[in-house]
Amino acid sequence: MTAVIGGQGAAAAVQPADLQVAGRRRNRRRRTAIWIGRVALAVIVIGGWQWFTAEGWVDKFFFGQPSQIWNSLVTLFSRGTAFGSIWENLWVTAKEAFGGFLLGTLAGVVLGILLGSNRYLSAVVGPYIRIVNSIPRIILGSIFIVAFGLGTFPKVLLAAVLVFFIVFFNAFQGVREVDQNLIANVRVLGASPVQVARHVTIPSAMTWIIASLHTAFGFAIVGALVAEVLGAQKGIGLIISQAQGTFDPDTVFACMVIIAVVTLGAEFLISLLEHRLLKWRPPSRSEAPAI
Amino acid sequence: MLRNQSHRRPKGPSRVDQPAGIDIVGLTKRYLTPKGEAFTAIKDVTLAVEPGQFCSIVGPTGCGKSTTLAQVSGLEKPSAGSVTVGGTPVNGITDGVSYMFQADALFPWKTVLHNVMMGPILLGTPKREAAQLATDWIRRVGLAGFEDRYPHQLSGGMRKRVAMAAALINDPRILLMDEPFGALDAQTKIIMQNELLKLWEELRPSVLFITHDLDEAVALSDRVVIMTSSPGAVKDVFDVDLPRPRGNVQEIRHEQRFLELQERIWQSLKDEVTRAYARSAGAAA
């Protein structure tokens, strides 16, 4: 029994030390090669873009230029925008996206788990959910702006709607995939429906829900930005639509960069949460490099 | 956890459940197939398990063995007939039952300790007490030191031990086992059978044990029930009079009496298996 657990140590002991050193060296070389490739790819794409626009093969009036985008970024942060400092605008957009993300996730998880565990409800509502899912929900932004004005609320709402469906479907599916043996097991042990949900259904669906959060946050940002483009008094989306009006692709690209950084940050936080909540999962096999 | 306590039945030393007998009378279970036809899984099954008896059900695949267990546990309701446990007709989930499946129904997101703790926790036992009880049971199944591991970090045999501790921790009156060792390799299987016999002889719950393995059935049981397939029905019941404690199941297989019984029961089972195999081969062709 212990041999299974101690297997790794035993294997290492059998191997001569220099084999291990050679394996490590090869592993390090492989990682260096990967990083060289990554940097080269970035240099080729960004450098090529700069070069092509500088030579005039591609018109920088329409497609921007990396150096100009950098200048726009500097301007945005040093001189601010027509609607206040960039931080102020970024804060507004981030607030809307996070608000929508939280609202949509909460609603998605609750409804997904409720409908997933109730056969009758899911049968009744199922077709309607599918219909609503097939309409282009981003258009709802227009309606929200008209109905709720130019403030924060319609942006939060649009982001929440986009997030909701992603999280909802995953939670719903997650509940459906629960191991029926586990449920039978705890029911025989005398679990009430609430206990079945608490100990089996929700933890089991959590894998699916967490996986959906990565995509969901991207959609929260999209929702907030699009709603801002449609009509706002502040926010990155407003800066973008303003830049579009003044034929300034560099500022649009600069805003894209800013938003990308924010999204990567949020993505990182979600990954942390994922590691914490799903630490019981077996590590994936590919993480151990063969030597 | 504590807020769930209100509606839980208290269960402690005051519990007077001696091992309960199981009486199954005229049990019939029909299902509706997806095509809309009625399918009879088991028909008129009548069998009795004495209190504290170890009873195995053997039969070809698809003869409704698992269906029978589901009716005893109260997870499903019979279409006709009745199941009585300890003198009380089954209606809803039967009290004091534990289940063990072929797939080790462990919570992958809980550690060994928390998996084993589930039984007492669901009965409303305070967390600390449940943890103590679970630690004790983990030691009894020989897994001391593995309390903080997750199921995926254990071997198949170790997971079975965890499942066994989780099933026995509540001191069940009735233990339902649905091919619990079916997926294990031969050596591990023997170890687990010995382990099960040892623990069963300490606690003496009534056991309904489903298996395909006739040797296993004879070595472990006091009574072996042979079931026929489609619809499932009881064909023969054999009482196994090998003395208890049985000792090592590996050695008992070579005893004269074991071989005689095994041969007699196999004669009854053989026809069924052949018939079921011919039918499935015919259906596949």
Residues A181, B97: C-beta atoms closer than 8 Å = no
Rg of the Cα trace of chain A? 25
Q: Is residue B38 part of a domain?
A: yes
Contact B48, B236 (CB under 8 A): no
- Distance between CA atoms of residues B208 and B221, nearest Å: 9
Give the CATH number for residue B53. Answer: 3.40.50.300
Asked, as a colleague might, if the bond just before B108 is cis with ω within 30 of 0, I would say no
Q: How far is A3 from chain B (nearest CA, A)?
A: 10
Domain ranges, residue B53: 18-96+206-285
pTM as predicted: 0.75
User: What are A18-62's pLDDT values in tens digits?
Assistant: 888 888 899 899 999 999 999 999 999 999 999 999 998 988 888
Determine the residue among A8, A179, A188, A198 to mutate to test chain B binding: the one whose Cβ has the most chain B Cβ atoms within 10 Å. Answer: A188
User: What are A74-91's pLDDT values in tens digits?
Assistant: 988 888 888 888 899 999
Q: To the nearest 10°, the Cα dihedral for B184, B185, B186, B187?
A: -100
Q: Does the structural domain A66-280 have CATH classification 1.10.3720.10?
A: yes
CB contacts of B150 in chain A (<8 Å) are: 280, 282
ipTM here: 0.79
Residues A187, B75: C-beta atoms closer than 8 Å = yes
A200 sits in the region (left: phi over 0; alpha: psi -120 to 50; else beta) called: alpha
What lies within 8 Å, CB to CB, of A6 at 6+ separation is none
User: Which pLDDT value is given to residue B13?
Assistant: 38
User: Which pLDDT value is given to residue A7?
Assistant: 46
Contact B176, B85 (CB under 8 A): no
Q: Is residue B228 part of a domain?
A: yes
A56: three-class secondary structure by DSSP: coil
pLDDT in tens, chain B (285 residues): 333 433 334 444 334 456 788 999 989 999 888 888 888 888 888 989 999 899 999 988 777 888 888 898 888 889 998 898 888 888 888 888 888 888 878 898 899 999 999 989 988 889 999 999 999 999 999 899 999 999 988 988 899 999 999 999 988 989 999 988 888 888 889 989 998 999 998 888 999 999 988 889 999 999 999 988 778 888 888 898 888 888 888 888 888 888 999 999 998 888 888 887 887 777 665
Q: From the list A184, A186, A206, which residue is nearest B122 (CB)?
A: A186
Nearest CA in chain A to B142: A1
Q: Is residue B1 part of a domain?
A: no
How many domains does chain B fold into?
Answer: 1
User: Which pLDDT value is given to residue A91?
Assistant: 92
Angle A84-A87-A91 from CA coordinates, rounded to 5°? 105
CB contacts of A187 in chain B (<8 Å) are: 75, 93
What lies within 8 Å, CB to CB, of B148 at 6+ separation is B111, B112, B113
User: Which pLDDT value is given to residue A2?
Assistant: 45
Q: Is residue B183 part of a domain?
A: no
CB of B108 within 8 Å of any CB in chain A? yes
Q: How far is A188 from chain B (nearest CA, A)?
A: 6
Residues B101, A189: C-beta atoms closer than 8 Å = no
Q: From the list A181, A190, A280, which residue is nearest B109 (CB)?
A: A280
Q: Is residue B150 part of a domain?
A: no
Local confidence band at A96 (pLDDT 50, 70, 90 cut-offs)? very high
Local confidence band at A288 (pLDDT 50, 70, 90 cut-offs)? low
User: What are A241-282's pLDDT values in tens digits?
Assistant: 999 999 889 999 999 999 999 999 999 999 998 888 888 877
B122 sits in the region (left: phi over 0; alpha: psi -120 to 50; else beta) called: alpha
